[in-house]
Structure 1
Amino acid sequence: MYKQMSVGLAALWLSSVAVAAELTPWYQQGQAALQQAIGQTVNTSRAKNIILFVGDGMGVSTVTAARIYQGQLQGLAGEQHRLFFETLPYTALSKTYNSNQQTADSAGTMSAMMTGVKTKAGFIALNERPQRGDCVAALANQQTTFLEQAEQAGMATGVVTTARITHATPAATYAHSPERGWESDFDMPAAAKQQGCKDIAAQLLVFELGDGIDVVLGGGRRNFLPVAKPGVDNNTFNGVRRDGRNLINEWQAKYPQGSYVTNQQQLQALNTSSTAQVLGLFSDSHLPYALSRNADSSEPRLVDMTSKAIELLSRNQQGYFLMVEGGRIDHGHHGNSAKKALTETLELAEAIEQAYRMTSAEETLIIVTADHSHVLTMAGYPTRGNPILGKVVVNDEQGNPMPQPDLALDGKPYTTLAYANGEVAMNKKTILPRESVSAVNTEADDYTQQALVPLLYGESHGGEDVAIYASGPWAHLFRGVQEQHYIYHVMRHAAQLDSRSSSE
């Protein structure tokens, strides 16, 4: 009798707890997420199109901070917010190490994603056999990239970046080099030139597969133009080439039906029904940070370049492959500027959302990932809703926010976001004492977060895994913890390149 009563009371208690739980929005959100997961169906059709988005340096801590930042910009607390690409149905983790480095660089990591094999830091689409800078060995150990294979299969191809188009990440889609720094002939040793290696900008011109890369948009104009001859010409574009070649003129001669554009107005004016190949070089070096843009800026935003690329590439009935890089996330981190990095992450998120809206999830595989992480940290027990770029305000013993920022052992406040290393360590150029941020606006555009270990060359990459987010045909293959080069193998399987031909 007593046992039966105990069981009955326990059941009643559990029922009341369940009812109470169901009344909370957290419980309801969890149930909604569960039902969405249960209802998810896989798509095993051939991917007509593949768009690979790479947030250069967009590690998990960057995504978390950017999520909160975007939410707070919208007047929310931020923590429950999600960036658009975080709503994509499938996720995995990517192990980013190079074949010779625990913490990777962009050249080796992007080469892994493009060729299906890991390789050394600094290598552009080579296997790991050569030594860095060895031209002769590099010529014998090139790895065909996914973009090259897509061209051979009759797909249209495009490369979009906010960095120089000759920078490591975009270069790994079309070039092959034992040194990522060989962006122009000026950057190469004489011996390498004599041995037959070409600089990365020149390799874009000699790309002969298919009908050539259809859309190339980014920065790096200086690597395509010669150095001005005093008294002979007026090179307003600050070219750096020493071989006298004007690769832009050569590109226009190679593609007489193509269009070369240098600003947002020209890009938007392109006739998508009649324009053939497009080369857009919008800056001498990298495109400016989003934080530096104003109403008079002539450079296109990442979302503008992505939209136009999709419009142009979509004309090909056999589909397309497009790589889009948010290249300046990485640069913001290297300068210990979390605000720049987070703003660039939001720019990438907007481009991803636009691409998703312009395409069909039934036939387009969208992959969002990073090449590597950074040493951005998010810590300090800030209260919920605390400005992600602000100073840490903790909760009191009752769980309510304190009226003033928390103080470290040195008696000074500190920020939620900081870096494990960087050039701006502690008090700018000195290690101790730590600079006080009491009267500093840590949310200002030009504020640089404090760092622990001073490095001569600036903040470094981080070695932890990065995330992969995906939707579309075969996106369900992105699950678990994978080696980074697995991305190539999923793309190749989804596109069914072996069954395609340029005559389809």
Structure 2
Amino acid sequence: MKVTFLLIICSCLAWGGLGKPQFPDQEKDPLFWNTWAQRTLKNALTLQKLNQNTAKNLILFLGDGMGIPTVTAARILKGQLSGQSGEETQLEMDKFPFVALSKTYNTNAQVADSAGTATAYLCGVKANEGTVGVSAAAVRSQCNTTQGNEVTSILRWAKEAGKSVGIVTTTRVNHATPSAAYAHCVDRDWFSDGEMPAEAVQAGCKDIARQLFENIPNIDVIMGGGRKYMFPKNQSDVEYPGEKKHFGTRKDGRNLVEEWTNRMKNKKAQYIWNKKELQSLNPNNVDYILGELFFF
């Protein structure tokens, strides 16, 4: 397996946006955000001489709700669990030589959700609440606003640059947070076509699980949940046979895991779904991993 990689690790919860304020039309254009970002970076680089060498690897570790209040609470808790008052404790991230903050609000909501925030930090563009991988010109649940408003993620940039890339998450891989790395969808809840309105399917919009396998082929490592969204409707789950709440949800009858396995059969690829299979993997013999380790 290549040693140069981009790994996105997500620990995710869903948070709703409040309010539907108006926002300037210029915020619908990705160029607005890209220009602002470049200006901010250039200003930062003039303040001090920084290491501008090219990094070999990048790991982007995302925890849900990682604002200053949450980090402060974690720091205090860590200290109190060690018998201290808490404020004087250091988290490992507090020891980093450089720290930066990213404002990830939605264009149409001050209290942001995981979809729009993921688009902000993975694609560099602010977006509307409930949308992933599209600019603010796209409107939630309106399929016809998708085309032409797609934005590019850092995972795609890395893959196109010849690097190995991966997504590892404690939630489903087609959840709002990880999906912004590969999907362009006007509704974060379109996990499979089973959750999409018929008119959106007929109009050609693709569900997020399908986009995981089609938008950026050959993502090197995919590990997380969401197994039932990969399998045909009413297909029994391998771990929970016969339990209806774990049945597949796809109305198109496709088995995305089987399709991936067939497509990768001439490569050093492995599909796993439990701890035993994960622990038995020899990384020297595997270049691609699809790990659907839990169903939800």
User: Considering the TM-score relative to the shorter chain, is it more than 0.5?
Assistant: yes
Equivalent position to 1:242, from 214, 232, 251: 251
Equivalences for 1:230-309 in 2 at 5 Å?
A: 237-256=246-265, 257-285=268-296
Structure 1 residues 174-183 or 82-91, which shifts more?
A: 82-91
Equivalent pair of 2:102/2:121 in contact (CA under 8 Å): no
Give the letter aligned to residue 150 of structure 2: Q
Identical-pair percentage:
46
**Is structure 2 residue 69 aligned with structure 1 residue 69?**
no
**Is structure 2 residue 234 aligned with structure 1 residue 228?**
yes
Equivalences for 1:449-460 in 2 at 5 Å?
A: none
Give the letter aligned to residue 227 of structure 1: K
Residue of structure 1 equivalent to 2:67:
59
Deviation, 1:229, is 6.0
2:100 alignment partner, SS class = strand
Deviation, 1:191, is 1.0
Distance in structure 1 (CA, Å) of the matches to 2:273 and 2:143: 33
**Is structure 2 residue 168 aligned with structure 1 residue 154?**
no
Equivalences for 1:131-170 in 2 at 5 Å?
A: 131-170=139-178
Q: How many residues align?
A: 241
Distance in structure 1 (CA, Å) of the matches to 2:275 and 2:235: 29
Residue of structure 2 equivalent to 1:109:
117
Q: 1:181 to 1:229 in 2, by over 3 A?
A: closer
After TM superposition, which residue ranges in structure 1, 4 or more long, deviate above 3 angstroms? 234-237
Equivalent position to 1:46, from 54, 71, 90: 54
1:353-396 deviation line (CA, Å, top 9, x unaligned): xxxxxxxxxxxxxxxxxxxxxxxxxxxxxxxxxxxxxxxxxxxx
2:247 alignment partner, SS class = coil
Residue of structure 2 equivalent to 1:188:
196
Equivalences for 1:78-477 in 2 at 5 Å?
A: 78-209=86-217, 212-228=218-234, 237-256=246-265, 257-285=268-296
When the two structures are superposed, what TM-score results if normalisation uses the length of structure 2?
A: 0.76
Distance in structure 2 (CA, Å) of the matches to 1:229 and 1:92: 46
Give the letter aligned to residue 257 of structure 2: I
Deviation, 1:207, is 3.0
| Structure 2: runs of 5+ lacking an equivalent | 1-47
Equivalent pair of 1:111/1:172 in contact (CA under 8 Å): yes
- Aligned residues: CA RMSD: 1.9
Give the letter aligned to residue 142 of structure 1: E
Equivalent pair of 1:96/1:103 in contact (CA under 8 Å): no
Instruction: Identify the structure with bigger relative contact order (alpha carbons < 8 Å, sequence gap 6+).
Output: 1
Deviation, 1:42, is 3.4
1:68-97 deviation line (CA, Å, top 9, x unaligned): 222222333322111111211112332222
Q: 1:214 to 1:107 in 2, by over 3 A?
A: same
| Structure 1: runs of 5+ lacking an equivalent | 1-39, 286-504
Residue of structure 1 equivalent to 2:36:
none
Equivalent pair of 2:132/2:180 in contact (CA under 8 Å): yes
Deviation, 1:158, is 0.5
Give the letter aligned to residue 46 of structure 1: T
1:249 alignment partner, SS class = helix
1:87-139 deviation line (CA, Å, top 9, x unaligned): 11112332222111122111111111122221111111111112222222202
1:171-205 deviation line (CA, Å, top 9, x unaligned): 00011101111011111011111111110001112
When the two structures are superposed, what TM-score results if normalisation uses the length of structure 1?
A: 0.46
Distance in structure 2 (CA, Å) of the matches to 1:280 and 1:72: 36
Deviation, 1:238, is 2.2
Equivalent pair of 2:104/2:126 in contact (CA under 8 Å): no
Give the letter aligned to residue 60 of structure 1: I
Equivalent pair of 1:133/1:178 in contact (CA under 8 Å): yes
Q: 1:60 to 1:190 in 2, by over 3 A?
A: same
Q: 1:42 to 1:186 in 2, by over 3 A?
A: same
Distance in structure 2 (CA, Å) of the matches to 1:229 and 1:53: 34
1:435-484 deviation line (CA, Å, top 9, x unaligned): xxxxxxxxxxxxxxxxxxxxxxxxxxxxxxxxxxxxxxxxxxxxxxxxxx
Question: Which protein is bigger by CA-based radius of gyration?
Answer: 1
Residue of structure 2 equivalent to 1:386:
none
Equivalent pair of 1:227/1:235 in contact (CA under 8 Å): no
Q: 1:195 to 1:84 in 2, by over 3 A?
A: same
Structure 1 residues 234-243 or 73-82, which shifts more?
A: 234-243
1:310-356 deviation line (CA, Å, top 9, x unaligned): xxxxxxxxxxxxxxxxxxxxxxxxxxxxxxxxxxxxxxxxxxxxxxx
Give the letter aligned to residue 175 of structure 2: H
Q: 1:229 to 1:97 in 2, by over 3 A?
A: closer
Distance in structure 2 (CA, Å) of the matches to 1:155 and 1:224: 26
Distance in structure 1 (CA, Å) of the matches to 2:242 and 2:258: 14
2:170 alignment partner, SS class = strand
1:390-411 deviation line (CA, Å, top 9, x unaligned): xxxxxxxxxxxxxxxxxxxxxx
